A and B are shown apart, each in its own frame.
Chain A
């Protein structure tokens, strides 16, 4: 038997039509009843676009495509982006504790208010300390290796690109310029302005990206601005490094599946990328894949993106030096520096362990 009830999606997604959720033996079926009453909305217009327009911020479109980022006169709402699940869950648990104490008539505990993940500025924080280098970038608890490995790669080959992308204002805010790719591949600059506040755990350590120097801010600011643009730290859990390189620099980057290339082809592509001063990254095989065990054998993380720092030939043997964006590595290989997170692999081993590279 069919029975109708208010539409699950018309209330949820704000379609302009009159949909009804009919139920038949417990099975939900969305029935379109718009015909006859209202003209159907053009493709793509219902749902989020229509309903969310008032809530979304419309950013200005810049007139220039190159050069340093310039803060626009338009003032964005400097609301911090949503946190990841684990950070939010921790805060929720602490809040429940505070509420429970209040319910029991107990006095507030000042220690509790200082715990959890809170937005605070880094004490004596500076955008850059001793310039920009790949070694500055350290990944936090968000799944943003796709962002931080290429960020370190850009710092490695052309730090000016990062300096041009970030502008610090007198009021202490930072504006980061990204490029948004539209139809037909045309890119438009997008500016996101964020405050110097970062999510700190118990008022001390940065939860997400940080710099090797405790006062340096630029990796955290880029990650925060990117999260702010994309809708929160939880949205940027996983992504494509070539997208990020294009979005930060406006330059194209290409992904290569290394398994389907011969060692000579890989060598040629790496040499070409080095010669062209392109940022390069490589991703280890994920768990359960063809090469997952080989990744574990060399002590690297599975399904993780690394920065390619160098490609050299010594005594005729080509080798690749990589850096883990975590800033450390568990690898015990002869060419590994656990404290710096770097590892040097012969090209043959590199091709075995890394399935994908952005060159």
Chain B
């Protein structure tokens, strides 16, 4: 079924809609054009720890995904559930990212290094990554999390969300609960929920609106959020 789905996605014209009937699909998909993917019922995309569940490489335009559960993906090197490395825009609605991993770089659930991602009413549960258990945003990418729940994700830096370089993030109406920073020898070990660090030349930008943090203390650390390179801005 996975191959058929990939063939369907590849043959759909730009701007087309692909409706996926409920079921469990063992897939590692690539989307290279702007399409809309809609789950009809309970749709599980299982990455089988063989690579990212979905890679979006459309050079421009808008890719929409609705109602899909992304599970068991493996980020190589980033984004076990979904990896965005092109300049297109991605809209995720009512999607769930569960038990995805990215042990070499980060963003167990979602990784974006360029383009923009808007996630509405999505859930990130039990994902792990080196940097950013649920989400890693790098480079010039833009992220919006709206009404999302991020629960029990873990990383060595940024248990739930890691923001790097010159990215932008808007987090509104989200709930962060029980995300963890796991101690590591080399890593920064900070930001149980959100960790940010820029370079010497640019900084990530984050706007937080009306979000809930029900955080337990991570191992050996007591930070909910931290901002790298600006030690004075760390949350005690």
A290 to B211 Cα, complex, angstroms: 37
CB of B93 within 8 Å of the partner chain: no
Residues of A within 8 A of B157 (CB): 234-235, 237
A48-B206, A85-B188, A190-B201 are contacts. A286–B170 as well, Cβ < 8 Å?
A: no
Nearest B-chain residue to A143, judged by Cβ: B186
Nearest B-chain residue to A236, judged by Cβ: B186
Which of B183, B187, B204 touches A237 (beta carbons < 8 Å)?
Answer: B187
Interchain CB contact under 8 A, B49 and A289: yes
CB of A95 within 8 Å of the partner chain: no
Question: Shortest distance in angstroms between B150's beta carbon and chain A's nearest beta carbon?
Answer: 15
Interchain CB contact under 8 A, A290 and B185: no
Which of A14, A31, A287 touches B210 (beta carbons < 8 Å)?
Answer: A31
Instruction: Give the interface segment out of A5-13, A63-71, A114-122, A322-330.
Output: A5-13
CB of A200 within 8 Å of the partner chain: no
Which of A30, A45, A55, A180 touches B199 (beta carbons < 8 Å)?
Answer: A180
Q: Contact flags (1/0) for B201-236 with A, using CB distance below 8 Å? A: 111111111111111000000001101111011110
Which of B113, B233, B234 touches A240 (beta carbons < 8 Å)?
Answer: B113
Interchain CB contact under 8 A, A240 and B77: yes
CB of A159 within 8 Å of the partner chain: no
Interchain CB contact under 8 A, A29 and B210: yes
CB of B147 within 8 Å of the partner chain: no
Question: Shortest distance in angstroms between B223's beta carbon and chain A's nearest beta carbon?
Answer: 9
Chain A 222-251 residues near chain B, CB threshold 8 A: 228-235, 237-241, 243
Interchain CB contact under 8 A, B185 and A259: no
CB of B168 within 8 Å of the partner chain: yes
Residues of A within 8 A of B133 (CB): none
Interchain CB contact under 8 A, B233 and A231: no
A53 to B3 Cα, complex, angstroms: 50
A43-B170, A289-B50 are contacts. A85–B184 as well, Cβ < 8 Å?
A: yes
Question: Shortest distance in angstroms between A198's beta carbon and chain B's nearest beta carbon?
Answer: 17
A153 to B15 Cα, complex, angstroms: 40
Interchain CB contact under 8 A, A192 and B233: no
Q: Contact flags (1/0) for B174-200 with A, using CB distance below 8 Å? A: 000000000111111100000011111
Residues of B within 8 A of A228 (CB): 200
Residues of A within 8 A of B30 (CB): 260
Chain B 127-166 residues near chain A, CB threshold 8 A: 130-131, 138-140, 156-157, 164, 166
Interchain CB contact under 8 A, A235 and B76: no
A30-B208, A231-B228 are contacts. A286–B233 as well, Cβ < 8 Å?
A: no
A146 to B130 Cα, complex, angstroms: 13
Interchain CB contact under 8 A, B207 and A287: no
A8-B224, A190-B201 are contacts. A52–B233 as well, Cβ < 8 Å?
A: yes
Q: Contact flags (1/0) for A195-235 with B, using CB distance below 8 Å? A: 00000000000000000000000000000000011111111
A260 to B215 Cα, complex, angstroms: 39
CB of B28 within 8 Å of the partner chain: yes
Interchain CB contact under 8 A, B186 and A234: yes
A85-B186, A184-B87, A238-B104 are contacts. A43–B208 as well, Cβ < 8 Å?
A: no
A21 to B9 Cα, complex, angstroms: 45
Residues of B within 8 A of A43 (CB): 168, 170, 205, 207
Which of A8, A180, A237 touches B186 (beta carbons < 8 Å)?
Answer: A237
Residues of A within 8 A of B215 (CB): 28
Question: Shortest distance in angstroms between A118's beta carbon and chain B's nearest beta carbon?
Answer: 19
Chain B 57-111 residues near chain A, CB threshold 8 A: 74, 76-78, 85, 87, 101, 103-106
Interchain CB contact under 8 A, B168 and A48: no
Nearest B-chain residue to A186, judged by Cβ: B140
Residues of B within 8 A of A14 (CB): 233
Nearest A-chain residue to B235, judged by Cβ: A12
A12-B225, A43-B207 are contacts. A235–B104 as well, Cβ < 8 Å?
A: no
A-B contact pairs, 19 of them (CB 8 A): A13-B227, A29-B210, A29-B212, A30-B212, A31-B210, A41-B207, A45-B205, A47-B196, A48-B227, A49-B203, A85-B185, A85-B187, A86-B186, A190-B200, A231-B199, A235-B197, A241-B77, A283-B77, A288-B49
- A-B complex: 10 closest residue pairs judged by Cβ atoms: A44-B205, A12-B235, A86-B185, A356-B76, A238-B130, A234-B188, A237-B186, A52-B230, A290-B50, A84-B186
10 other contacts beyond A192-B200, A235-B157, with CB at 8 A cut-off? A43-B205, A44-B170, A44-B205, A180-B201, A230-B200, A237-B131, A238-B104, A238-B187, A288-B101, A290-B49
> Using a CB–CB distance below 8 Å, which chain A residues touch chain B?
8-9, 11-15, 26-32, 41, 43-49, 51-52, 55-59, 84-86, 141-143, 146, 180-185, 190, 192, 228-235, 237-241, 243, 255, 257, 259-260, 283, 286-290, 303, 355-356
